[in-house]
Amino acid sequence: MNRDEALVLIKDVLTDVVPGADAGALSPDENFRESLEMDSLDSLDFLNFIEALSGRTGLALPESDYPALNTLDSCADYVASRASME
């Protein structure tokens, strides 16, 4: 999976997991966890995102790597680089 494919997939997963999310409106370096309120006390959206992304990519996404999954750019870079290693 290349970076462009990873970015499309990430936006699709965000749209599926976060009700009302407009992934197309996010800037590449914007912290989407904050912008989409994925870490609010009553939300499991980020964990659902991780689970869905892992399921659709086949990648293990350990908690230690979560900081790399906060922006569209960093997430796409991470997924593309990990997918090329698999």
Are the CB atoms for 6 and 68 separated by under 8 Å?
no
DSSP assignment string, 18-71: STT--GGGS-TTSBHHHHTTTTSTT--HHHHHHHHHHHHH-----GGGGGGGSB
Each domain of the chain, given as residue ranges in start order, spans: 3-85
CATH topology of domain 3-85: 1.10.1200
* Residue-wise pLDDT tens digits, 47-63: 999 999 999 999 999 99
User: What predicted TM-score, i.e. pTM, was given to this entire model?
Assistant: 0.91
* Residue-wise pLDDT tens digits, 17-76: 998 889 999 999 999 999 998 987 667 899 999 999 999 999 999 999 999 999 999 999
What is the chain's length?
Answer: 86
